[in-house]
Amino acid sequence: MTWRRIQAGGLTEGETKPAVDRGTFLEPLPEIIRHRKVDRMKIAVFGASGGIGSLLVKRALAEGDTVYAYVRNPDKLQLRHDKLHIISGQLSDEAAMTTAIQDADVVISALGPDMKGKANDTATPVADGHELMVRIMRKLGKKRLVTLATPTLRAAEDKSSLLFWLMRKVAPMTMSHAVRDLLKIGDVVTASKLDWTIVRIINPNVKTNGQGYGLAVGQEKYGISVSRQNVANSLYDIAKANSYIHKMPIVFNR
């Protein structure tokens, strides 16, 4: 089987045996490269001023891409670059969101629900934002969407495990507001008819073991924590490779 290494700079030439290097991960070529790689991207990033979103913006700019960063408060994104365009607005602002998306090749959302919301609050602001995002993308003829969730959102390939069982039993009891938002995001995105990928994360934090990240689908083994940098890199690499379409990989620290 031919394998291909994915690195911070993108894809290298095909390799004939698997190996894991610092800052890289490997996937079988037929699984990871399903469509043509994009050389330079124009990316609309939602949640661009957050912990994951700002790292994603930095990575994209370092790669020479054009970024349309959508934020509520532009003062929170302390970056300036000739290829960075900052658009401010709420997740209900159709005109501002259209401005962010209209020239983009790829839309990436680093948004996450409020984990401290009240249990009796039935609002789903992040999912509603995704709903508007999808509607705008379809109106503009855009196809590629990469977004975030957790394993509380079930994928068709998921196998039974104690971790999945615990997350899906405990999370609704302790974070019902966030779970409600996450589940609706899944419904909106999977029904969108777009080329979507939902990257699922467990215990995102600022730490990293320095060994890059892995992606798991179905029965593949995975870790139970991931750094914000590795989440950002996975979002970028999946968009760049145009891979994992209609999949929900779990990203984890190597």
User: What is the CATH number for 51?
Assistant: 3.40.50.720
Cβ atoms 128, 92 nearer than 8 A: yes
pLDDT at position 5 is 37
Q: What's the number of domains the chain is made of?
A: 1
| Spans of the chain, pLDDT less than 70 | 1-38, 114-121, 160-177, 210
Which has the closest alpha carbon to 217: 191, 250, 192? 250
What tokens were used for 73?
């408060």
* pTM listed for this prediction: 0.80
Residue 119 lies in a domain: yes
In Å, what is the CA distance from 62 to each residue of 21, 48, 55, 245?
21, 15, 11, 25
Residue 33 lies in a domain: no
pLDDT at position 230 is 95
Residue 25 lies in a domain: no
Other C-beta atoms lying within 10 Å of the C-beta of residue 236: 27
Residue 132 lies in a domain: yes
Residue 118 lies in a domain: yes
Residue 24 lies in a domain: no
pLDDT at position 221 is 76
Q: Which long-range contacts (CB under 8 A, 24 or more apart) does 26-34 make?
A: 27/3, 27/215, 28/1, 28/2, 28/3, 29/1, 29/2, 29/3, 29/4, 31/243, 32/4, 32/6, 32/241, 32/243, 32/244, 33/4, 33/241, 33/243, 34/242, 34/243, 34/244, 34/245
Q: What is the pLDDT of residues 66-76, one digit of tens each?
A: 999 999 999 99
Q: Which domain holds residue 201?
A: 38-253
Residue 8 lies in a domain: no
In Å, what is the CA distance from 66 to each residue of 85, 90, 208, 237?
8, 22, 27, 15
Q: What is the pLDDT of residues 42-65, one digit of tens each?
A: 999 999 999 999 999 999 999 999
Half-sphere exposure of 77 (CA within 13 A, CB side): 29
Residue 42 lies in a domain: yes
